[in-house]
């Protein structure tokens, strides 16, 4: 008899994704898609995300947000996946590593963008 693997062991854990998206449905979609592809996902509000990023032992993460202005102090520290229907070029330029995914987006576009940021 072959033991069943728990759902948590179905895919290797990749990088962590810190998701800060105001729209609850978009936030759930992002979390579901990334978890399905093996990413460890934390969904929080802007102030909690700031606390996580300020902590001394903050893990290397990718920040996914539709409000990058909240996180300018981390622009040199963390890669940004900017989810928006109308990107702000100044915000994009402020982050050391930034990828824009225009809303509405397909799940594959999201996964591809996160994978690209993970390689950088």
Set out the domains of the chain in order of their start, with CATH numbers: 14-119 (3.40.50.2300)
- pTM of the predicted model as reported, rounded to 2 decimal places: 0.84
Tell me the pLDDT tens digit for each residue of 22-71.
999 999 999 999 999 999 999 999 999 999 999 876 667 899 999 999 99
pLDDT of residue 29: 96
Tell me the pLDDT tens digit for each residue of 60-91.
789 999 999 999 999 998 999 999 999 999 99
- Whole-number Å distance between alpha carbons of 21 and 46: 9
- Whole-number Å distance between alpha carbons of 119 and 51: 25
pLDDT of residue 11: 44
């Amino acid at each position: 008899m072959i033991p069943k693997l728990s759902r948590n062991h179905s895919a290797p854990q990749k990088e962590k994704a810190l998701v800060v998206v105001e729209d609850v449905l978009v936030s759930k979609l992002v979390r579901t898609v990334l978890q399905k592809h093996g990413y460890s996902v934390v969904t929080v509000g802007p102030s909690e995300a700031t606390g996580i990023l300020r902590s001394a032992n903050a893990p290397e993460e990718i920040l996914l947000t539709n409000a990058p202005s909240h996180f300018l102090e981390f622009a040199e520290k963390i890669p940004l996946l900017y989810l928006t229907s109308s990107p702000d070029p100044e915000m994009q330029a402020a982050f050391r590593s930034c990828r824009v995914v225009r809303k509405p987006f397909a799940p594959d576009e999201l996964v591809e963008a996160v994978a690209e940021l993970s390689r950088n």
